[in-house]
Amino acid sequence: MRILLISYYFPPCGGAPVQRWIRFIPRLVEAGCHITVLCSKDGDYPFLDEALCAKIPDSVKVIRVKAPSLQKGWKALFGKDKAIPYGRLPRQAGIFAQFLIRLRLNLIIPDLRVFWNPAAYKAAFEELKRGPYDLIITTGPPHSSHLIGMKLRRQLSIRWLADFRDPWSEIHYMKLNPPCALTRKLHKYLEAKVLASTDTALIVSEAISKALPEGKKEVILNGYDPRDFEGMKYSASGVFRIKYIGQLTAGQDPDIISELCRNIKRDFRLSFFGTRLNPEEELSLSKSCANPVEMKAFVSHKEALKEMVDSELLLLLVNDYEGNQGILTTKLFEYIASGSPILCFSHPSSAAARILMTIDNAKVFSYQDIADATAWVDKMELGQRRKGNIDSYSIDKQLVKLLDALKCENTC
């Protein structure tokens, strides 16, 4: 089977946007599929992680299509150290910056990456005509990529799968910073049109699936890759190390971590890896801890996994907003695979909470339940590790469902 995957984000882009498909692609190649990836060239990426390129099999053809960089214009206006907000609106943004962000939320539909669509569509169309290809897959966010798939499906009558790594009209930044009623209707219209047009929608959680419009759907979790953890072992340091790994997006309030740390009685060290915080947030966290707080704005994916393994406690914040029940990040499954204890703040009915309740060294507390969370942390023993079986959350288990969705039986 020959597959064209259209993904704005692809290595050397780093961070969460690329993790789902750089796990699946090698497994699909091993199953006999021929994969071509059409992605952006010099796109506006949250991070660069060149090491991730080594995860892509040599047989995979990668077509890189130049993407407009709005990042350059933003930095020209606000300074070289000011990036376009990714995942959440900055608390200290000036009036002009806030105006531009609101303008984007209301006028650029469905997202900023839509300006890449004309060039991406042209390149995809030309590649498919050279073919033959059996199907195309578009993955979002950015959900504008699904509009490319929908147009190709209409023009070429090719099978098309739309992959949803996050909600669309119910995504966190639009729930917490709602655009005008007309813009919301346009998002709903496009969302429904995509679901009605795609042959199958691949979706990361049951709750997101239920919230999306009618259509043929298949829930396929992000999962973790056991190969990523090969050779990694927990190294005790005699210090109780609390770590938050990854970005903070809209609805993930670092003040929860500050309050937790202010109340913990035991000696501990707090670290952030791959997290960008503003000076006000850093100051608040520093004041809440007796020991210096370690801050690293970027680490490679491999380094991040090692930090997860070498932890006494990992912090997870599920975005706090109405409709958050379906959020299942790649990080959740990597946290589980690391074997380290996990403290999660979430509504107890969320998909993440339900999964963590099956893990023997993880605890879930509501956003306001700092006292009970603190008491649990203070009672923990150094060196606690997960003991239960987690194979059902591995990428290999999810691959079986993906192959079925692709209409492959045992092989492509």
**Does pTM top 0.75 for this prediction?**
yes
Per residue in 27-73, pLDDT (tens digit) is 999 999 999 999 999 888 888 999 999 999 999 999 999 998 776 66
Amino acid at 293: V
Percent of the chain with pLDDT over 90: 74
Put residue 149 in one of left, alpha, beta given phi > 0 → left and psi -120 to 50 → alpha: alpha
| Closest by CA position to 368, among listed 395, 347, 383, 382 | 347
| Closest by CA position to 52, among listed 22, 24, 28, 21 | 22
**DSSP element (H, E) containing 123:** helix 117-130
Residue 409 above 50 pLDDT? no
Per residue in 247-296, pLDDT (tens digit) is 888 788 899 999 999 999 999 999 999 988 888 889 999 999 999 999 99
Domains of the chain and CATH, by start: 2-69+112-223+394-405 (3.40.50.2000), 226-390 (3.40.50.2000)
What token pair was written down for 49? Answer: 């992680």
Residue 410 above 50 pLDDT? no
Question: What is the tally of helices (H) and strands (E) in the chain?
Answer: 15, 13
How many degrees, rounded to 5, is the angle at CA 398 between CA 173 and CA 411? 130
* Cβ atoms of residues 218 and 203 within 8 Å: yes
